[in-house]
Chain A
Amino acid sequence: MTDRGEAVGAPPAVRAVRFGWTYAGRSRPALHDLSFTLEPGQLLLVVGPSGCGKSTLARALAGIVPHALPGAWTGALMVGERDVAGTPPGVLGQEVGLVFQDPETQLVMPHVADEVAFGLENRGWPRDRMLAAVPATLAEVGLAGFEARPTGALSGGEQQRLALADILAPLPRLLVLDEPTANLDPPGTTAVLQRLARLAARRDRTIVVIEHRLEALLPLADRVLLLDGEGGQVAFGSPGEVAARHGDALAGGRTWPAVAPPAPDAPVVLQVDAVSAAYPPVAAGPAPAAVDAVSFVVRAGERVALVGPNGSGKSALLQVVAGLRRRTAGTVRLVDPDGLREDPARLPSTALPRRLALVFQDPEVGFVARRVLDEVGGPDGLQTLERFGLAGLAEEDPFRLSTGEQRRLSLAATARQRPTLLLLDEPTFGLDERGRDAVAALLDEGRGAGQAQLMATHDPRLLPGCDRVVALRDGRVIFDGPAAGFLASPPYDPPEPWRLGGVPPRVAVGSAA
């Protein structure tokens, strides 16, 4: 990698000198002793385990830390010629644009055009300039013609693109993106990464990206900042330099290892027949079907992946199977070892825990107790926590845990139930490499004991570890077969993003097994 875009005499785009930050009320710093320099036009990739302070750095670059969140600041952080700590956020906001981790919670206004204009109004742009800039920026991110749409009715991918338009519109010199692909389906991820590659190639602004999908971003990066679990700096340099000394940390994501197929005569545990379901309509007209005439079975000891684009009905289908969402047609049957067939929506609540469990996309909605230990419950609760590496947190409030810990807790609670059918909605979402490995180990254990598993996921890297794939599009099943078959020829157009490692621009960096 060569360094590009260094304008002679211009001040560095970002300069940190022993920069550190501690949130009010916390005893440990979120970040400490960061020292690095980024030249204008460069792209910096920030890497580190979950909770190491990556989002905190993003907030500091936009001046939210220290101006909107209380805490203690140490050292210096400069953006261009401005010292972040001494610059009002409004002034800093002229130069920095920040896209947050979660696109949905950063959309402010109810309609698309107003949303893009919001940031411009804050900067006092005259109206005629706004009237020109709004449609132009929407077109730039591929949302031409979306001006009057309600933001709440956009798909995850569209929301992500709108968030990008929001910060591109005021023409910031520094662009900060915090995990811009976290919620997206593979084509959406591809689109964002390609857009990022194009922006980076223009070299007219400095870009800081936080991403777990290293294999896709390393080839675009001019610099890499590697953080440790405690918010300290491990390394800063070109991707080559950092990889040479900390190769492990930059190794690409592992795929889940293939599993031995279950016995072909394993009994059917779940039978779904011609099931349809709808959400209430958001706008005029008939409600679109969220799930449309879906049929499939899951056998004991089988792990089935449920894949499909954003909004294709994966979550809706899992909720219907769990009996939590009303279906408009079809049948769902849980088959017990004696061949008794029951509708989960009809089962009494007390009979449900042994039959099926659902790990929610957002684990917090599933918590029922005020103490980690009570969440797991039972006389052997502490042992269960031990196995999941949560014993030290037994007395904590479940809501206080980190994303990864919360995910493990919800898995622990369901593991103790030993349900015959386990439903999982994006079980690896928001987890780093280690967290994903932990989830894989837990699921293997259940599957080994004959548990049937149905798992919605956007991550192709999990598919080799599944027995079968059921693929949805617009609420309908368009593929039901072995994972290998799905990966060999994904039933989508275009198929490339759905393949393993199919996230362009493709590179061969660290595809360690």
Chain B
Amino acid sequence: MTASSAAAPALPSSSRWRTLDIVITAVIGVVFGVVFWFWDVSVWPATTPIFAAAPPLQYVVSGVWLLPAVLAPLIVRKPGAAIFAEVMAAVLSALLGGGPWGLDVILSGFAQGAGAELIFAFGLYRSFGLRTAVLAGAAAALGEALHDLVIYYPSDKFGLDVQGTIAVVDVVSGVVLAGFLGWWLLTALRRTGVLDTFPGGA
């Protein structure tokens, strides 16, 4: 019964949320909430004049908003993680009273999280590779686009050209800035060892 056996014990896999999973998912939301707040009050207004000629193109940077919805499920691998993390980030940035979106940011957080959540659910919460990450980024972007087209770019006021541009630019940004960047963050985090106690850590 000595503990000298070399085989490393494996992590249990279950869909039960440990306190650790809850707090870590929320913390991911909080980190990005802080970053969003910073983004909302600096990068977004700063790029507004640059994109003034063609505002829908401003969506090229919007993928950053979707990172929690991609990263959190890749780490904790639990149903609901995408929505939880994204809504958390939205709540924090609303609490900080940052960007122009206010309370509505929570609604869009939900739409974005739900988009990504669908992809992980389709994989039955068993597929967590690069392809899933990229798809989740794209789906989160679709959720975001859907929300924004209803609330800010309604079809009674905008043509299909504007709406279509927004959707396409948004999805491309989601793929690159949420999908690939999220995957890069995951692999970099794994190397640091902080994810060792999570299913997504190895």
Contacts and interface: CB of A to CB of B under 8 A. Distances in A.
Interface stretch (A64-72, A179-187, A409-417, A471-479): A64-72
6 contacts: A21-B3, A22-B8, A69-B197, A72-B3, A72-B9, A370-B188
Contact of B11 (A18, A31, A32, A70): A70
B194 A24 contact: no
B10 interface: yes
A400 interface: yes
B192 A397 contact: yes
A32 B2 contact: yes
Among A26, A370, A399, max chain B CB count under 10 A is at A399
Interface string A1-34: 0000000000000000010111111110101110
B2 A20 contact: yes
Interface in B1-23: 1-12, 18-20
B201 interface: yes
Size category, B interface: 20 to 34
Interface of B: 1-12, 18-20, 188, 191-194, 196-197, 201-202
A166 to B, nearest CB: 16
Q: Which 8 A-B pairs have the closest CB atoms?
A: A20-B3, A399-B192, A72-B9, A29-B3, A32-B3, A400-B193, A397-B191, A74-B3
Contacts of A24: 8-11, 196-197
Contact of B4 (A23, A32, A71, A370): A32
Given A27-B8, A70-B11, A22 B191 contact: no
Interface in A50-70: 68-70
Contacts of B5: 72
Contacts, number: 68
Contacts of B19: 68
Contact of A25 (B4, B12, B188, B201): B201
A212 to B, nearest CB: 24
A68 B1 contact: no
Contacts of A337: none
A32 B5 CA distance: 11
- Of residues B3, B5, B9, B188, which shows the largest number of chain A Cβ atoms within 10 Å of its Cβ? B3
A33 B1 CA distance: 9
A74 B193 contact: no
Contacts of B188: 370
Nearest to B189: A399
A75 interface: yes
Contacts of B20: 68-69
Contact of A71 (B7, B9, B201, B202): B9
B3 A397 contact: no
The residue among A70, A72, A399 with the most chain B CB atoms within 10 A of its own CB is A70
Contacts of A32: 2-4
B3 A400 contact: no
Contacts of A70: 9-12, 197
Interface of A: 18, 20-27, 29, 31-33, 68-72, 74-75, 370, 397, 399-400
B194 to A, nearest CB: 7
Contacts of B12: 70
Contacts of A400: 191-193
Contacts of A370: 188, 191
Contacts of B4: 29, 32
B193 A397 contact: yes
Given A33-B3, A399-B194, 13 more contacts: A18-B1, A24-B9, A25-B8, A25-B201, A26-B8, A26-B196, A27-B7, A68-B19, A69-B20, A70-B10, A72-B9, A74-B1, A399-B191
Nearest to B194: A399
A308 B121 CA distance: 55
A256 B170 CA distance: 60
Contacts of A74: 1-3
A156 B9 CA distance: 37
B10 A399 contact: no
A75 B1 contact: yes
A382 B186 CA distance: 28
A68 B11 CA distance: 11
A32 B4 CA distance: 8
Contact of B9 (A18, A22, A397): A22
A399 to B, nearest CB: 4
A33 B2 contact: yes
